[in-house]
Amino acid sequence: MSPERLGAFLASSLEAGAPIATAALGGLLTEAAGSLSVALEGSMLAGAFAAAVVAKATGSATLAFAAALLAGLLLALLVGTSALRLGSDVFVAGLAANLLAPGAASLVSEALFGTKGVVAAPALGGSGHVLGLDPSFFVLLGASALVVVLYSATPLGLRLRAAGEPGEAARAAGLRPERLRLAAHLVAGGASGLAGAALAAQVSAFVPGMSSGRGWIALVAIYLGGRRPGGVAAASLAFGALIALSNAAQAFRGAPAELLLGLPYAATALALVLARAAARRRAARAGGPA
Amino acid sequence: MRPGLRRNPLPALAAALGLAAFYALAASATPGRALGAFFLGPFSSAYSFLSLLDQASPLLLCALGAAVAFRSGAFNLGGEGQAALGALSAALVLGAGGRAGLAGGAAPLFLLALALLAAAAAGALLALLSALGERLAGAEVLLTSFLLSQAAVIGVDWAVAGPLRDPASNLLAMPALPRELLLPRVAPPAPLNAGVFVSLALCLAAAFLLGRTRAGYELDLRGESPAFARAQRLSPSLSVWPLALSGGLHGLAGALLVAGAAGRAVKGMTGGIGWNGISVALVAGANPLAALPASVFFAWLDAGARSASILADLSPDASAVMKAAVLFLVTADLRLLAPRRRGNAAREAPADAAPAADAADPAAAADPAAAADPAAKGGAR
């Protein structure tokens, strides 16, 4: 592979991996707080849609990212309220958010633009590349760094993790686990919203269904990354490389382009099975429970 | 099945209808007309009512599949892909039969049976992969089933709109199947077909399996407590066959779509039926017999929104938001809202905030009132 092609491949891996990493790191907080959010997928789509609509209306990419953050927060608030205030199953509430986002996007799109298809937003992208990367990458880099610092270096992060410990220790220490979990959901929602905005920025448009399972891949990255920020980021970037690879393979003549899009999902499932099997073998060797 | 998943669904259903009414009043230029079209449109003629039942029939199969998985303690999130694979398999079998000229005599019946079987097998196989991944390696079913399903949907869409596409058609679809090979219609020209009898029979069969057999009893035991099932040395296959059955039911639903009103495999034809099946199963508390009215309710939301988009000026997609509202509320415990003060007081007092029985269940952990109240678990059964 020539250096230029390698560089381009690396860049597209990073661009594809960053949204997954940002969402996964946000999701890690909910997992650590003992209330894993599966609404990352829906928050991503909501963020992508909000970013495209606001960019189209105002012409400002900054406002667009702010709107995406807000959309992700709102959806997370809905999930958090349903799960923590009304006692819903947090998993089911997350599924509801994943159904609500595409439905609401298509309703709003039809009301605003008379179409429920692609929302083109040139203002969202097109400001050139920095170091060969889409500028949205650096937004996500900053957001991810903030989430990691929040998680590992602040009192709030410590409390979040305490809220996820089994038993009543956190409550006995005077913490309010429900509030901490809600905070974790909000961080995850906001991070995923920004991740969605980056997806939209990369193609300067909102495309229905454009999150296409990346929020779920982010969940897998949380587990494969061993629930540690560094591992989660590394697993996310590996999935990004996989997506970049299947995109690159489409360029070959005669390759079934649409079929290759399914590759990252099958490979992610396989990676999960292999990682679990390896962990089980390690545990068996160590004499622990299989 | 986790106890927190079984709650009274009526508030959720009422909220969806309230949302529908609010939407019709707020968004339509002719609110009265929109309201009438939404709520009564699907019942305005025998034809539209039979169309509604035609939508409910494959949805019921998906709900049964989701319910069987729930009861065994697993989340099958791959219904969409399992249904898509089933649709493709059925279309391939019927298409091959049609090309072989097997359209006369008893051949269609035989072919249809074969197509349904192939579809069920394809769906079951996909779900089986996830079940084995969990059994052999401990990979979470709810993640692998979704991921494999996503890959399957993409693969099926590619095949249907690519190599298998009917070049003579403008649709992204496989060739139309011969009419004689489709499921016969119950009351032509209404789209309801004989597939509804398959759905109803399987609904009764699932109710019998889960409620009246030893296998169903063991499946429930495992669903309530996998550790207890292990300690009792219940068959380890309990983590495998319920999921395969779930996948098979979803595959069958795909076959009903192809051999029903569509009469061919069309790109994207499953249209969220797997996710809706999960919602219906939750509304029904994973009870097969309750899934019957619940699937009709969900089909009503869709049919109502469609009717309001044709007869008035609403969007047919509005039903997606209403269905999401149902899902947000269906496992909620609205009693938590009423005694709000006492609930908070209980939360502050460690003695009252009984530790949830299952620390791995965040919903239960977040819900001390329900955990402290044994009637909440028993009453929902």
pLDDT for B214 beyond 60:
yes
Interchain CB contact of A274 with B (< 8 Å): yes
Burial of A225 (0-12, 13-18, 19+ CB in 10 A): buried
List, in order, residues 6 or more apart from B25 with CB less than 8 Å away: B31, B34, B35
Q: What is the pLDDT of residue B4?
A: 67
Q: How confident is the model at residue B371 (pLDDT cuts 50, 70, 90)?
A: very low
pLDDT for B359 beyond 50:
no
List, in order, residues 6 or more apart from B77 with CB less than 8 Å away: B142, B143, B145, B146, B149, B274, B278
In this structure, of A71-75, B12-16, B289-293, the range with the lowest mean pLDDT score is B12-16
Asked whether B291 and B9 are in contact (CB, 8 A), the reply is no
What residues of chain B lie within 8 A of the CB of A34, using their CB? Answer: 359, 362, 365
Distance from CA of B96 to the nearest CA of A (A): 23
* % residues pLDDT > 70 (chain A): 97
Test mutation, A107, A115, A176, A280, chain B, max B CBs within 10 A: A107
What residues of chain B lie within 8 A of the CB of A215, using their CB? Answer: none
Asked whether B143 and A269 are in contact (CB, 8 A), the reply is yes
Residues 222-251 of B with CB under 8 A from A: none
Give the span between the Cα atoms of B78 and A221, in whole angstroms.
19
What residues of chain A lie within 8 A of the CB of B319, using their CB? Answer: 103
Asked whether B111 and B259 are in contact (CB, 8 A), the reply is no
Q: Strand pairing partners for A205? A: A120
pLDDT digits over A90-139, tens only? 999 999 999 999 999 999 998 898 888 899 988 887 667 777 788 889 99
3-state helix, strand, coil in chain A (%, to 5): 75, 0, 20
pLDDT digits over A151-169, tens only? 999 999 999 998 888 767 7
Task: Quote ipTM for the complex.
Answer: 0.91
List, in order, residues 6 or more apart from A37 with CB less than 8 Å away: A26, A27, A30, A76, A79, A90, A94, A184, A185, A188, A189
Shortest CB distance from A273 goes to which of B133, B152, B370?
B133
pLDDT digits over A205-254, tens only? 999 999 989 999 999 999 999 999 999 999 999 999 999 988 888 777 77
**If you average pLDDT over residues A23-39, what whole number do you get?**
95
pLDDT for B84 beyond 80:
yes
* % residues pLDDT > 90 (chain A): 66
Q: What is the pLDDT of residue B279?
A: 95
**If you average pLDDT over residues A77-89, what whole number do you get?**
91
Q: How high is the mean pLDDT of chain A?
A: 91
pLDDT digits over B155-212, tens only? 999 999 989 999 988 889 999 998 889 999 998 889 999 999 999 999 999 999 999 9
What residues of chain A lie within 8 A of the CB of B332, using their CB? Answer: 82, 86-88
**If you average pLDDT over residues B367-371, what whole number do you get?**
39
Interchain proximity B327–A92, CB inside 8 Å = yes
Give the span between the Cα atoms of A165 and A33, in whole angstroms.
8
What residues of chain A lie within 8 A of the CB of B2, using their CB? Answer: 89
Q: How high is the mean pLDDT of chain B?
A: 86
Q: How many Cβ atoms from other residues are within 10 Å of residue A241's Cβ?
A: 18
DSSP secondary structure letter of residue A261: T
What is each CA distance from B177 to A214, B93, B252, in whole angstroms?
36, 10, 17
Nearest CA in chain B to A268: B147
pLDDT for B27 beyond 90:
no
Q: How confident is the model at residue A1 (pLDDT cuts 50, 70, 90)?
A: low
* Backbone phi, psi, residue A133, to 5°: -120, 150
Interchain proximity A95–B347, CB inside 8 Å = no
pLDDT for B347 beyond 50:
no
pLDDT digits over B221-232, tens only? 888 887 787 777
Interchain CB contact of B161 with A (< 8 Å): yes
pTM (predicted TM-score): 0.89
Amino acid at B340: R
Q: How confident is the model at residue B295 (pLDDT cuts 50, 70, 90)?
A: very high
Distance from CA of A5 to the nearest CA of B (A): 27
**If you average pLDDT over residues A33-60, what whole number do you get?**
95
Interchain CB contact of B155 with A (< 8 Å): yes
For tokens 């091959």, the residue is B96
For tokens 């957001």, the residue is A143
Q: How many Cβ atoms from other residues are within 10 Å of residue B281's Cβ?
A: 31
**If you average pLDDT over residues B321-349, what whole number do you get?**
71
Q: How confident is the model at residue B2 (pLDDT cuts 50, 70, 90)?
A: low
Distance from CA of B102 to the nearest CA of A (A): 32
Q: How confident is the model at residue B368 (pLDDT cuts 50, 70, 90)?
A: very low
Q: What is the pLDDT of residue B269?
A: 92
List, in order, residues 6 or more apart from A201 with CB less than 8 Å away: A51, A61, A64, A124, A125, A134, A135, A136
Residues 156-215 of A with CB under 8 A from B: 166-168, 171-172, 176-178, 181, 212-213
